Structure 1
Amino acid sequence: MTPAPRTVAVIGGGIAGLTAAYDLAAAGCEVTVLETSDRVGGKLRQAEVGGIAVDVGAESILARRAEGLDLVRDIGLIDAIEHPSTASASIWTRDALRPMPPTVMGVPADLQALLASGIVTEAPESAPAAVPDEDVSVASFVEQRLGREVVDRLIEPLLGGVYAGHSDRLSLRATAPQVLALGGDLVSGAARSLAERAQAQQSSQPSPVFFAPTGGVGTLPDAIVAAGDFAVRTSTTVRGLDRLPAHEPGSPRWRLTIGPTTAIEHLEVDAVVVATPAPAAARLLSDVAPRAAFALAAVEYASVALVTFCLGGEFRTTGSGFLAPPVDGTVIKGASFSSSKWQWSRDAASDRAIVRTSIGRAGETLLLQNDDENLVRLALADLTAAVGQAGPVIDAHVHRWGGGLPQYEVGHLDVVDEIDADIASVEGLEVCGAAYRGVGIPAVIGTARVAAARLLGRETLGS
């Protein structure tokens, strides 16, 4: 068995890189995190809007996957988390905010309840069909069984909110395994799934779907750094990654070339974790894991913008927010009523309201070419049309995530298997992050903990 590494470089200081660093340091490794930007956290970030620190990246963490809660517990924050005050979302379509009927990832469990909601004009007909052996797009799977209107007005806005992608291209197995698990009869499967969930909650303590640390998800990266025993170097670009020649036992296996071209520096370590987005990972791995690099280079990314408002006056609305089907031609794809959802946000806002609106899906480059002023104007117009009154605007902030979300197209998990196989053949090398097996925070944390466990020669950490 290969001994656990003594020194490890983690390339990338997002939630994946920080988690891997935390676990490796906790096991006794000397770890250095190398981050190109001037801050850690990746897509977990905060900015000030109206004098209030708000999340301008991820806003919540899925509680039904254990990885997020486990990490929060490990770093000592489990007693400082909140659950949303409300989780009732709407669909803004046909000129009204319409309550979301019971669904599993957009698949309706009750066709009459869906019709009554006004989201669709006619109750779709359920047409059960065998589940294909091969991966298919989410849209083709659902459309065959429930028709296009369900895809356009339920599936598409939900997937657009999570992946900023299009259901006609997104992989069923990678992005909507909950839908695949319903089987060929989607409506019956959704009804059964919701009934089982309700029964489970009756026999135990009700479990909220989401949570966040008090103060926001953007506080989590600094909390991991504070709790961990590892070094962090920001504003540090890794320019090259090379395997060292055959070496004596205990000598480093890897050399990293870092820093500006005018002041190149080398760092030698036993092991490396590449926790960057796919394009950067492909460049770094081109010589040491070429098959993985080739696969990573083909992963496409979507750019999005988040427009956050601090509003005065009375914000007359209920629920946690809404999603907007792209078929309706709106600019925003959804809104989150942050100060209605989170007690910490409500306390900070006082008599104001914090509302986040999101813009952008894969391929929508023209829309995002608008300057910040225009994006604010366009987002406010949609928000006002949806809720009836949104103002006065005390402050607004635009945060752009260029190439922010990887697109899991049909066959994505096969591509990831190829990447994993190539990486596994290279001693002392691991990868993790959002490009692989889920873009949600718990899924990303999961890839990091698996990467660290492999380097340490453990099947699971903490066992």
Structure 2
Amino acid sequence: MSASRVAVVGGGISGLAAAHRLRRLLGPDAEITVVEQSDRLGGKLRTAEVGGRAYDVGAEAFLHRRPEAVGLVTELGLTDQVVHPAKVPASIHAAGDTRPIPGYTLMGVPASADAVRQVLSHEGLRRVAAEPDLPPIRLDGADVSVGALLRERFGPEVDDRLVGPLLGGVYAGRTDVLGLRATMPQLATALDDGAGSLLAAAATAIPLPPPPGVTRPPVFGTLRDGLSTLVDRLARHVDVRLGLPVRALVRLDRGWRLEIGSAAAPRHLDVDGVVLAVPAPAARKLLADVAPAASRRYAEVELASMAVVALALPPGTELPERSGVLLAEGERAAGRGGAPDGVPFTAKAFTFSSRKWAHPAGEPVLVRGSVGRHGEEHLLQRDDDELVAAVRHDLRELTGVTAEPIDAVVTRWGGGLLQYGVGHLDLVRGIEDAVTEVPGLAVAGATLHGVGIPACIATADAAAARVAAHVIGQDHRVGESEPWPA
């Protein structure tokens, strides 16, 4: 019997994690090929050199409380690379002022009026305090937009000043578009279980404080030398082919054929199973003939574009004692004489990385600004120098930092952030049900069950297990395909 042959389409964290898991499941003799159309691996994990230092200009951390990323890092022998954020607060700039993100909230949804007393107006606080007296919330299994629910229950301020900036930082989206069940599942579960009000639901979903003398485990972690370290380690034991688009996916009698490369001179790769770990538009195209119902569902997914502007400031530059700041939509820098009609902010968030993470003395001070929400593509239609200038303006207005950068790197993520709209979980269920009917095929990636690194790894593990089970159960393997170019 010939060796098992599996193709993974997509070289982001989901595809690489799937290839790693397939290697573990199928053994050292299996031929596992990762095909990536760009000239680099990693997808949204990208570590660049900024001011002479390794600096993540895509995803910057993983949720440490979920087991998937921590488990993978441990499995790969990278535990000594794991670092955690310093204990400095984050902040939000809203209604013309910058304040710490209040505690006792769930992604900005308060568990009590007292929790948001320093952030809301008198009228906003009155609305929050009165929310439990409204008729009980009855979702009855339905999904709703986060923004509509918040405004109905609290009025506009909780959405505008807290939840909007926080969800905008994660999804680059607007709460009117984002669905409750996919973006705030703990809140939806509490409501399903009868909490009745948003205050009660948030209070139910927020983790209890640790007992006296017990330290709460860290929420986030990253790798000291950058998350590309994880990418490099995952790619060690698979065959990687870069710069090769997969143009078509064809089902054979005993396996699959991938049409790869240029349209004028395509090559073919015949395999026993396929994991698709690609963005929604690519998945829609490749599944059109083999799983049309899944293809139609992928076509419903909306995407947002954004850019990360990384700045290396001179050593000794003083940053605020905060890990960063999120900006509410529509905020403006103060006009002349403090007038409220100043220039709109371009950035939607800043991370003061040299405050957030351990920073060696004497090294450049690192800051990253994020630009772009869903529907704000016009902000990205500037050249790199213009984006850097706009982000530096915002940094100066927010913090007073005027230092000239010694380096600046702009990284653009076109269509890089999924919009988990109302009904997203039903959409994903439709994708997975349709793909389940096709033997030897599985899907993974941020489109499905979360945009974070652990969630992507979870989909990769599930996809690899499905394809491996199919391959192991086959009586014989597909024939040899054309040889790959050197």
What TM-score does the superposition give when structure 1 sets the normalisation length?
0.91
Report the Cα offset of residue 112 of structure 1.
Answer: 2.6
Q: Which residue of 1 aligns with 2:351?
A: 336
Residue identity opposite 2:157 in structure 1: E
Q: Which range moved further: 184-193 or 8-17? A: 184-193
Contact 1:44 1:58 in 2 (8 A): yes
Q: Is the 8 A contact 1:62 1:441 kept in 2?
A: yes
* Deviations 1:46-97, CA, capped at 9 Å, x for gaps: 2222222211100010112111111111111123200011351101123332
CA 315–268 in structure 1, closer or farther in 2 if over 3 Å, else same: same
Q: Secondary structure at the match of 2:244?
A: coil
- Superimposed CA distance per residue, residues 192-224 of structure 1 (whole angstroms, 9 cap, x where no aligned partner): 444x4213x657552100000111223221121
1:304-346 superposed Cα distances (whole Å, 9 cap, x missing partner): 0111111124223112101000032421111001111122xx1
Deviations 1:22-47 (A, max 9, x none): 00011123211001111110000022
In structure 2, the partner of 1:241 is 249
Match of 2:131 among 115, 127, 142: 127
**Displacement, 1:363?**
1.0
**Structure 1 residues 7 and 188 mapped into 2: Cα distance closer, same or farther (>3 Å)?**
same
| Residue 388 (structure 1) aligned to one of 391, 400, 405 | 400
Q: Which residue of 1 aligns with 2:174?
A: 166
1:407-444 deviation digits (Å, cap 9, x = unpaired): 11111111111111110000000000011111111111
Letter in structure 2 aligned against 1:70? G
CA distance in 2, matches of 1:203, 1:352: 37
Q: Residues of 2 paired with 1:48 and 1:283: CA distance?
A: 35
Matched residues in 1 for 2:81 and 2:381: separation? Answer: 39
Residue in 2 that maps onto 1:287:
289
Give the corresponding residue for 1:177.
185
Contact (CA 8 Å) 2:82, 2:221: kept in 1 or not?
Answer: yes
Contact 2:131–2:199 (CA under 8 A) maintained in structure 1: no
Structure 1 distance, partners of 2:40, 2:363, is 32
Q: How many residues in Structure 1 have an aligned counterpart in Structure 2?
A: 443
Counterparts in 2 of 1:204 and 1:269: CA distance versus 1, 3 Å: farther
Q: Counterpart of 2:219 in structure 1: which amino acid?
A: V
Matched to 1:180, the amino acid is A
Conserved? CA contact 1:10–1:33, under 8 Å: yes
Alignment match, 1:321: 324
Distance apart, 1:353 and its partner CA: 1.0
Contact 2:186 2:205 in 1 (8 A): no
Instruction: Using the TM superposition, give the Cα deviation of residue 179 of structure 1 relative to its aligned residue in structure 2, in angstroms.
Output: 2.6
Paired with 1:65 and 1:119, the residues of 2 have a C-alpha distance of 36
Which whole-Å CA distance do the structure 2 matches of 1:12 and 1:202 have between them? 47
From 3, 6, 18, the counterpart of 2:4: 6
The CA distance in 1 between the partners of 2:95 and 2:123, in whole Å, is 10
Aligned-partner SS, 2:449 = coil
- Does residue 279 of structure 2 align to residue 272 of structure 1? no
Name the stretch that deviates more: 327-336 or 150-159: 327-336
Any idea what the Cα deviations from partners look like across 1:155-183, whole Å, max 9, x if unmatched? Answer: 10011100001100111101111332343
* 1:59 is the counterpart of 2:63: no
Secondary structure of the equivalent of 2:294? helix
Q: Does 1:366 align with 2:378?
A: yes
Work out whether 1:188 is the aligned partner of 2:200. Answer: yes
Give me the whole-angstrom Cα distance separating, in 2, the residues matched to 1:394 and 1:281. 41
Q: Secondary structure at the match of 1:233?
A: strand
Residues 81 and 30 from structure 1, CA distance in 2 versus in 1: closer, same or farther, beyond 3 angstroms? same
In structure 2, what is the equivalent of residue 89 of structure 1?
Answer: 90
Shift of 1:359: 0.5
List aligned pairs for 1:347-358, cutoff 5 A: 347=360, 350-358=362-370
Choose from 305, 308, 311 the match for 1:309: 311
- Structure 2: distance between partners of 1:361 and 1:117: 23
Alignment of 1:130-149 (within 5 A): 130-133=137-140, 134-149=142-157
Alignment partners' CA distance in 1, 2:12 and 2:421? 23
Distance in 2 (CA, whole Å) between partners of 1:408 and 1:233 is: 31
> How far off its partner does 1:20 sit?
0.3
Cross-structure match for 2:101: 100
Quick one: percent identity of the two aligned structures?
Answer: 47
1:315, 1:390 within 8 Å by CA — same for their partners in 2? no
Counterpart position of 2:460: 448
Which of 220, 223, 246 in structure 2 is aligned with 1:213? 223
Q: Provide runs of 4+ in structure 1 moved above 3 Å.
A: 117-122, 191-194, 201-205
Gaps of 5+ in 1: 248-252, 459-463
